[in-house]
Amino acid sequence: MRKPMIAGNWKLHKTLQEASDLISGLIPNVADNRNVEIVVAPVYTSLGKVAEAISGSNIKLAAQNCYPEPQGAFTGEVSPLLLKDVGCQYVIIGHSERRQLFGESNKLINSKAHALADVGLGIIFCIGETLEERETEQTFDVLRRQVRLGLKNLREDQMKSLVVAYEPVWAIGTGKTASDEQAQEAHAFIRALLTELYDKETAKATRILYGGSVKPGNVDSLMSQPDVDGALVGGASLKADDFARIVNFQAQDS
């Protein structure tokens, strides 16, 4: 069975004090939940503070991005080794905001995946189509391209530490959410694609998260879908009560 993951991407939010307050409000509300892997991804400046705050709890730490080199003359970048050193267990790569706003290519994202796998960090690998691509029926072509190029030359054993996050770009921060059926259709396609690229066992074991305006009000029905293994949460992860409710989801009978 795939253990569900609920990951909170804080994006560019929270001072040190605000981050500390958020974690303090979150921990007691999720402390008894051992059925879900809980992850938070603060800004770089809060990683150390949050690592200390969650020490001994059931919450894991992720970074929102990385640079694929271990060290060197790369002003403003942060390496996988440094993220591991500060206490990260996962790193998010390929988020649509990195692709759309900063022009990150599938090739660059692939190099990050390899760099993270090389140092033993877990990978939250984001993919997803824009509204225009969905409306012109390119969704599956986009997902196929992003998966094939983004995971190029990753071995089966390296896939064990990788989580896919399907995030339709048109549903991120817009209040729109893919329907349960749309999410399941995309997730099933991704799992079938992983079967082609690797094998049935790898595909079956790989967790596929949904991201895109996940909220307390829609998480239960989303998590009832057979190929939805969790959520990558944006805005709702910035409020302890909302995020705790998502972590403590109650999947509905389908």
Active site residues: 95, 167
How large is the greatest C-alpha to C-alpha distance in the chain, in angstroms?
53
3-state secondary structure of 65: coil
State the Cα–Cα distance between residues 42 and 34, nearest whole angstrom: 22
Q: 122: which 2 tokens?
A: 């877990």
Are the CB atoms for 59 and 247 separated by under 8 Å? no
Are the CB atoms for 33 and 58 separated by under 8 Å? yes
> What DSSP state is assigned to residue 123?
E
Q: Which of 210, 131, 230 is nearest to 166 (CA)?
A: 210
- 92 CB neighbour count, 10 Å cutoff: 24
Q: Which of 78, 151, 148, 82 is nearest to 117 (CA)?
A: 151
